[in-house]
Structure 1
Amino acid sequence: MGKHSSRRARGTASIVAGAVIALGGGAVVVHGLTGGAAADRPASAAGTPPHRTPSNSASTPGSGSATSTHSTSPVAKADVLPRPTGHSSEVPVANPAGAACIPRSLTVASVGISGERVVPMGTNAQGQIYPPAHTTMWYDRSTQPGQPGISVIAGHVTYDGPDNFYNLRNVPVGAAVTVTCTNNKIVSLRVTHKESILKTKLTTDQRIWGGSATPVVTLVTCDIASPMVAGHHLNNYVVWTRPA
């Protein structure tokens, strides 16, 4: 998610580079969360989407016993940053009153994220989590926020300038995070951990793509402080949150 050109804030959408996840018999690759020019934009963004039945931006953190029905086990691969040719698409998801949570907006007040619209999205044609510019996405095959399991919300750090998650790496542990659902439920969370992770390692990190007996919501972007190769950051930045 952060490819830089001559401008400091120019980025390429890449979160997870080359993450392959076996999911219900299918393989899913998740990539990049920095966006630059379309011609050279790599797919290493938000993560690899595993489940719902079951990466760059989605993975399930194994923060507890892997009992979630949404658990996914990414199968490693990737020494190179994938190059997405298209974005993830919005997925209509019903969320009637009394149901669980389909995210509608995200607030992380400590870093200036206030009521940011969240869009349920799947993968692109290449099986990658790769949201359009200025779009925060909830990976629709990850756990719904507030439910046992790991939910993945991803966004770019830069995309021809600062993007939605530009300041995410500055969030302090203990900070409040709020997810508002389409059925008006509120999921209140606190940041418990944050970490810069090599994209090639993120693809198999069970703390993002594994199961959890308790609710976990991960926020994933690229780490603009990490080294770059061919205009793309080598690391993703992940923030873990749990119910407040």
Structure 2
Amino acid sequence: MGRHSSRRTKGTIAIVAGAAIAVAGGVTLVHGLTSDDSPAAPINAASSPTGPGSSSSSGSAGSSSSSSHSPKKHSASSSKSAKHATRKASALPEPKSNSKPVEIANPAGAACIPKSLTVKSVGIVGERVVPMGTNSQGQIYPPAHTTMWYNRSTQPGQDGISVIAGHVTYDGPDNFYNLRNVPTGARVKVVCSNDKVVELTVTHKESVTKTALTTDQRVWGGSSTPVVTLVTCDIASPMVNGHHLSNYVVWTKPA
């Protein structure tokens, strides 16, 4: 996620070249990972059929910054993995507001509501994670310097796919600025609100065009095993109208 001065079948997912991710079920995730003053272009999604903590999460990070790239309220206790959810892509208008933090009922009683993220190999240490939903436009667009867990994706450590996203840049380097440099095999740690710790290992990383990411089931589909994805914009990808054309996704599994 970030902002650019040059100017992240049952729902809908869309990613605009410039910073947006849509989530299944009427949610779009906008992520800008560059240092710009204009907001990243969001992606819209249809209303999500899945509930809190479901594996049918959808979102991607885009970039709306000039120099780089760039969830509905639910009760954590009722979260279940929807292992076979899919989504379609559709472009959205630029966001008019940020996503809002969501209140999680009895977070200590949930399997894992993320509260911090550590990826020491790229300098991310104890980064606060905020459960967030969508903005008034049904888009996922976190504020600057905010790492978010999409609250309709699976909880880390549970079977399904969890989505954690952040900006690469936003008027300067942001939380996921160095994520692209994470090596395969690197350790990732998620600390939950109940102080449970989920230890993960990076298994794969890839630059994915925003168009392709909108239907990439490795991010928005289901999984019979726990998967946590870290999504941001790919600052190395080409830019069009102040937006990077690709996102950068890191996949992790329990260590």
TM-score by shorter chain over 0.5: yes
TM-score (norm 1): 0.81
1:41 correspondence with 2:54: no
1:110: which partner in 2?
121
Contact 1:49/1:123, CA 8 A, preserved across alignment = no
Tell me whether 1:74 sits opposite 2:73 in the alignment. Answer: no
- For residues 234 and 153 of structure 2, the distance between their equivalents in structure 1, rounded to whole angstroms, comes to 22
Aligned to 2:249: 238
Show the 5 A alignment for 1:24-173.
27-34=26-33, 40-44=38-42, 51=50, 52=52, 55-57=59-61, 68-69=81-82, 71-78=84-91, 82-97=93-108, 99-173=110-184
Structure 2 unaligned segments of length 5 or more: list them.
Answer: 9-13, 63-70, 72-79
Contact 2:4–2:36, Cα closer than 8 Å, also in 1: no
Deviation at 1:36, TM superposition (A): 5.5
Shift of 1:37: 5.4
Structure 2 CA distance for partners of 1:229 and 1:118, relative to 1, 3 Å: same
Q: Distance in 1 between matches of 2:47 and 2:29?
A: 6
Matches within 5 A, 1:212-231: 212-231=223-242
Give the RMSD, CA atoms, in angstroms.
2.9
Q: Does 1:175 align with 2:174?
A: no
1:9-28 → structure 2 map (5 Å cutoff): 16-17=15-16, 22-23=24-25, 27-28=26-27
Structure 2 counterpart SS, 1:187: strand
**SS in structure 2 opposite 1:201?**
helix
Task: Provide the C-alpha distance between the structure 1 equivalents of 2:246 and 2:47, rounded to a whole number of angstroms.
Answer: 18
Bigger strand share: 1
Is the contact made by 2:87 and 2:214 (CA closer than 8 Å) also made in structure 1?
yes
Deviation, 1:95, is: 4.2
> Any idea what SS the aligned residue of 1:74 has?
coil
Question: Residues 155-194 of structure 1, C-alpha deviation per residue, up to 9 Å, x if partnerless?
Answer: 0000000000000000000000000000000000000000
User: Following the alignment from structure 1 to structure 2, what is the Cα–Cα distance between the partners of residues 198 and 49?
Assistant: 24
Distance of 1:165 and 1:49 partners within structure 2: 28
* Separation in structure 2 between the aligned mates of residue 160 and residue 237 of structure 1, nearest angstrom: 19
User: Identity of aligned pairs, percent?
Assistant: 64
Moved more, 123-132 or 135-144: 123-132
Structure 1 Cα separation of the partners of residues 163 and 24 of structure 2 = 17
> Given that residues 44 and 56 in structure 1 are in contact (C-alpha distance below 8 angstroms), is that contact kept between their aligned partners in structure 2?
no
Give the Å deviation of 1:94.
3.1
Residues 199-221 of structure 1: CA deviation (Å, up to 9, x unaligned): 11111111000000000000000
Decide whether the 8 Å contact of 1:174 with 1:191 is kept in 2: yes
Please list every run of 5 or more consecutive structure 1 residues that lacks an aligned counterpart in the other structure. Answer: 7-11, 60-66
The separation in 1 between residues aligned to 2:190 and 2:97, in whole angstroms, is: 27
Cα shift readout 1:113-146 (whole Å, capped 9, x = no counterpart): 0000000000111111110000000000000000
What is the TM-score when the length of structure 2 is the normalising length? 0.78
